[in-house]
Amino acid sequence: MSKTLTKQELHNLAMNHVGKDLEQRGFEFIAINSKLKKHPQFVCMDKNKQYFFVIVKAVLLPENPNNYDVIWMESFKKHAQDNDAKVLYAGVGLGNKDDENLPIYLNEEYLIEYNGIQLVETNLN
């Protein structure tokens, strides 16, 4: 019998994809937090020593991974400003490759929708 991935395992899967992308882009990892609902997931630095707070959100397809809670993001942008950091958002959609109504199973193929990392303007609204 196949084991269904938990929310934490789905989040970790999304973080792995985003972490590889950040690494390929040349970011240096300062801190990593993989716990659900703890933000940011990655604190990184670019080659110019600019800090970035990276938020990773895993959703089940067909939900749109590019959408985030705009109201919550305002408080997070304030946190980033206070720490002289920029905010990056990475939404990752995951789904069962055979049927969107089925869960994602451990060690089985899955669908992924990942449109890369988005810069979130830190100007407060």
- CB-count burial class (<10 Å; 0-12, 13-18, 19+) for 105: middle
Q: In terms of pLDDT, which residue wins out, 95 or 124?
A: 95
Q: In terms of pLDDT, which residue wins out, 124 or 29?
A: 29
Residue 106 confidence (pLDDT) above 90: yes
* Mean residue pLDDT across the chain: 94
Q: Which domains does the chain have, with CATH numbers?
A: 7-120 (3.40.1350.10)
pLDDT in tens, 44-101: 999 999 999 999 999 999 999 999 998 999 989 999 999 999 999 999 999 999 998 9
Residue 29 confidence (pLDDT) above 60: yes
* CA pair distance 117, 98, nearest whole angstrom: 27
Amino acid 125: pLDDT: 55
No. of helices (H) and no. of strands (E), the chain: 2, 6
